[in-house]
Each structure stands twice: as structure tokens, then as C-alpha cells.
Structure 1
Amino acid sequence: MGQLFTDLQAVRLDVEANAVIILDQTSLPGEKVYLSLSTKEAVWDAIHRLKVRGAPAIGITAAYGIYVCCKSLRARKFDDFYKGFVEIRDYFESSRPTAVNLSAALERMERCVLRNRELPVSRIKRQMLREALAIRDEDAASCHRIGVYALSLLRPGMGILTHCNAGHLAVSEYGTALAPVYLGQQQGYNFKVYADETRPLLQGARLTAYELRYAGVDITLICDNMASVVMRKGWVQAVIVGCDRIAMNGDTANKVGTSGLAIMARHYGIPFYVLGPTSTIDRRCPDGNAIVIEERGSEEVTDMWYARRMAPDDVKVYNPAFDVTPANLITAIVTERGIARAPYNETFERWFGEEEKDSAETGSKTEE
């Protein structure tokens, strides 16, 4: 049995120091380095340069970050304070475009500010702190529920293939795609996990393999182009991945290479499950064609991780960070609300309706 995976905290808030503390994931697995972020530039850089990554963790970092930065604003009038808030919000939103949790967390923090606009600025800041902490706590509860629902789809001893890192390091606790693995570990399921290395940033090799080995899970690392081999050998009975954005028709954006796994899983008759919180579902996005795919620098492909450059100096490089998996290749989408199957939009609309009803009832009780 390994160590407690919860010993690794991807992001937390140091209220006394007024700083966001993150585990620098670009230093893993070699070093465990924690960074203190207290300026908007530091928060932006940490998100953009993948020092903190994973859609939920990015959202939590943005919520903590905008609180930290706004706490330092000296504005006394609401209009001046809100102007500063909007400037920081827009700046944070420019750090990474694909993960919906970033904009969702910032929108929620903005609603908190506007809802309390009649209060003194000092009290608005306190309300922002409560809202940011609530975003983190709700994510932890959500991840646990995702794990419970997903575990119901799995059997003890199964071989599970995963891509990128959608584990504890990508969220507040448990993870999304890895939540059922951790719950299964606690209940003696003895899963055998195969992790794609996930080129070009090696999140599977550096992060998934690191955290699962840390927790004592049976983990085998493979190159991305070996996935078909382990599927053909019958070593994989389920593919489980996270997601950065889900369109209303069920198309999902996740780390590049995910759609290829879905195609292979369909060929070999292996169920393909996407796990993520409902905050990842974008109601304004009808299908995958509307998802903006982030393109990153060529050096991630040609230079990063190598002692010397591993490509000709003048070669062209295409480096999309994500790809879109069509809904018809997805067996089920698992969220904290339950398990959705096609047609996905019907289930999503029902979930959003339930969420709005719950929110209205909570607001009504609060007013009483």
C-alpha cells in the first residue's frame, strides 16, 4: 500500500499570507516544489505554463487568485473595485482558452461580487473568500460522487487505460477519471492501470504514473502509440478519461490523443467513459465544432524534455493541446449528477434544471 494520495495538494489558499499555493507540476516527478502566487501575473503564468493544470484545479486557482488579487485592491467605492475586478478577470481568462472551468469559476466569482454590491468593499472581499472556498469544497464533493458513479460501471481486477492526468493533481481531491481508481483502491478492487505517457507534455508519465505509484496503485506506463497493443492483448477492459469541455451534444474536448483512443476502443469493443463535473458542460456550446482548441509552442514538441533538440531547425510543427471526441464514440459521460448516455443533451438539460431548482431553493431558505 502506498502513501495517502491526499498528501499531494495541487492548490490551496494561504489566507494569512494572502497567496495561492500550488504544487509546481512542471517540476514533477523529480522535485516536489510548492510555489506562492500573490500577483495577477504570477497566477496567469502558473496557469498558462501548466504549473497548475487540470480543468477543475485551474478553476480553483482562478477563484483563489482573483480573491487574492482583489483583496489587495485599495478601492473604496464599488465602481472602482468592480473595474479592478473586471481587469483581473479578463486577464486570467486569457491564460488558457479551452478549459471551461476557468471561465465558469471567474463568472461565479463575478456573480458573488455583483450580488453583494451594496455592501462595503471590505465585506465584498470576505464574501469572495467564502465563494472561492466553496468552489474548492464543492469540487472535492463532486469528484467523490463522480468516483462512486463510475465505480458502479467497473469490476474488480479490471485493466483500465487512461490518458493525460485527470487525477488528484488535476482537482481538489480524488480526481475525475482517477476517482474510481482511488475509491477502488480503498475497497480492494485491485485495478491494473495503464497510463499513456501523453506526448508532448508527458502528463501521463510525469503526473499520472507519479501519483498512482505514490498511492500504491498497480500502474504500468506505456507510450501513446502502444495503446492499441494492450487493447488487442485483452489487457484493457475500460478506457477512462477526463475532459476540459463538454458540448451539449456530448462531444468532449480533452488532451490531444483522446479521440484516437476512442476510435481504438470502439474497434476492440471496449467501453469508453468520460468523467468530469457538470461545470465542464458548456451550455453555450452546441457541439464540438464550437470548442476553441488551444495551440501551443513548437518547442514543446521539438525541445522540451530532450538534452538537445530532436527535430530539424526549420521543420514546421503543429501542436494542438486538445482534440474533440465525438459523442457517438463515448459509452457514457459520468458527472456528480449521475451517468449520462446518448442522447446527452436531454440528460444535460434535466441536470441543469435540477441544479437551478436546487439553487433557487437554497436561495429561498437563505432569505428566510
Structure 2
Amino acid sequence: MNSSSSTMSFVLSQKGKPLLVMDDYVFRLNKITNTTKYYRCENRDCTATAHTDLNNVLLKVNANHSHVIEPEKKEIRIFKQIVKERATKESTPIPKIYEEESAKMILKFSTIAILPSQREMSSSLNKARRLETPPIPDSSIFGILYLYTRTIENEEFLCVDKFIKRKTRILLFASNEHLKMLFQNSIVLMDGIFSTCPKIFDQVFTIHSIKYEQSFICGIGLLPDRKKSTYRFVFEELKGLAVRMNLVFSPSTIITDFEHSLADAIISEFPSSNQYGCYFHFTEAVYRQIQHLGLSSGYCSDGSFHNRLNLRVAKHHPNIWILIRCIQGEEIRFNHVLIQMIGGLTCRTKTAATNAIQQRIDTLYLRYQNNEITVDELLLGLSYVVAKNTSAKRKK
């Protein structure tokens, strides 16, 4: 066989060993010297061999195989490798991974006929997933492996890991790029997420910064409670990180929900900052009152980051390791979106309906500022906007 015309690729065996695939024949690594890797056909009765250098460049091949080609086996190996890799790196349920990858590969009938079923593969995949996952802690006192303190690109990521008091721990994840953006921008958003928080903590506390008219997640914390002292501790830690970077953490505008302890902590730590309630949380609060008065029957909305994190986690109250992996994935997304924005990408264009609703809100606040309406009339008007927006969403 002419080695220059051979198609060559590499896959991994079920035990993680490298396999050389050449023209649909599979070779196992036999030995390695200082200059050469020696491969042998995986069929023990076959004498075909192949040699590559240490950079996997083909040097020599003896492709006189004594058996017929079986391309289906190669496809199955590739399928198993992809499914196993996803199973060990994601929290997605294994049946879903199996279904998604089998649909993506568009396998031939002859391959499907001998492909192991999801049930047959589940045991080995669950075992592989367990081997990659540390023991799941049942309290806040646990060790964190080095892998979970770094970004996927192996940069420092766990910037705060401290106990406020016995059994009360705070973890804060942020890369240097996250912190740099947070400290250099004047508008900050803060919010808590509860359904995706591990049970050994109380909430996932997120800190966002606005740049290029886009919200960027700049810090994700795991907090033990919702006390003012806890929030102040987080802010003091961030101020200390800013000092070490020769920067200052003093945003001019902070947008939050309507949590009293968080608002009080912000007033204490950032007395010169302007604090505003997030409209999303405001409409939720207004709508709770609407429901109480019987003016409507349902309301469902959420922030894009919340939705994205929920999709990544794919379950309520995941274990700590699943959540950290999802947070590491968010750090990759942060870098990609930031580079795209620097390269000229613009924010998604607002729809006509969104602009119309925003105009109504602006008009109501302008009337209130001009003393044309009272506070009660402002709230009533906003409740109509919320109800109208909800009605439109329910019709879609």
C-alpha cells in the first residue's frame, strides 16, 4: 500500500489507549522508542504494522492484512469515544448524550445493527463518570482538587475560598479577565440563583458587568446564607483582589433585586454608588401583587444567564462538582463573547415589541417625575405593562 495515499486518524480505546486508524483498519500501539511509535493490527492473527514518529507522522506501513476490512468497528469506536468524553465532562444525562450523538453521526444500518445499546453502555459510562468525579461532600468542609480550582485553560479561577466562621464557607470563582472587567467598569449587576445551587450552600451569587451594552458574568460565588455580613465579606474580598491588581472596586451604579440584606450591605460597602432595583425583579414583585389581587393567572420569565446555567446543569440542586464544571464552561463562553465584541459584534437587535414596552415604561416614569401621576398610578400603570407583556408571551 502507498503510505502517501492512506487516510490516517487516531481514536482512543475504551481504556484510553491510542489507536491508529488507517483506511478503516485499526492498529494498536505496540511499543515506543526514542524516535518511533510501533503499531500492530488489532487483529491478533494479522501481521500488518505501521510506524510513525513521535509527532504521529507516518514513516512506514506494511498493510498486508489477512482479514477483510470492518469499517463499522471504526465508527463504533469513534462513537464510544465521543459519548464517553461527554459523559465524563458534562452533567447531561447519559441517555440524552447517547441519543444526541447517535443522531449526529448518522450511522449506517450495518453499524447500527452491532452498536451497543444505551442500556448496555450505561454501566461503563457511569463508572467512567464516577472515576472522574471526587466524592460528593455532605457539608461545607471538603477539599477541592486542583482541577476544580482552575479554568479549562488551566488559569487561576477559584479566587476566594474562606470560612467566615466554623462550617460557614464562601467560594468565589473569577478569572483575571473577569476581575479586570468587573473592576474597570462602572455598572454592576448582582443576583442570586437558588435552584442550581448545591444543597451544602444556600445560593449561587452572580456578579455581572456591562460592556459594549452587553452583560458579562464576572464572578460566581457559592454563599452559605443571605445575611448582610456575608455579602459584606464578599465585597471586602473583591476590594482586596482589586488592590492586588492595582485597581479599585467602586462601581458607580449597582443593580440588584429587592433583597434587603443585600441592599444594606451595598449601602455599607459602596456608600457613593447609586443602587437600583432590577426591572425584571421589580416586575416579578409587581406581578406577585397582581396575582394576589386576582388580576392575572400566571407569569414566567427569567434572565438569559439563569436559563443558560439551568440548561448546563440540567438538574435542580446539582452536586458541587457538576456545578463547578458548568461554571468553568461559562468562563470559556465569557472569553469567546468578549473577543467577538472586541472584533465588532453588536448586541442582538431589540424587537419592536420590546422597544414598545420600554417606551411605555419610560413614559410612565417621566410622568411620575413630572408630577403628572402619583406613586399609586405609576404602580398601576406598570402592572398593566407587566400584564400586557405576560399576555403576549402566553399567546406565543
TM-score computed with the length of structure 2 as normaliser:
0.24
- Structure with the larger strand share: 2
TM-score computed with the length of structure 1 as normaliser:
0.25
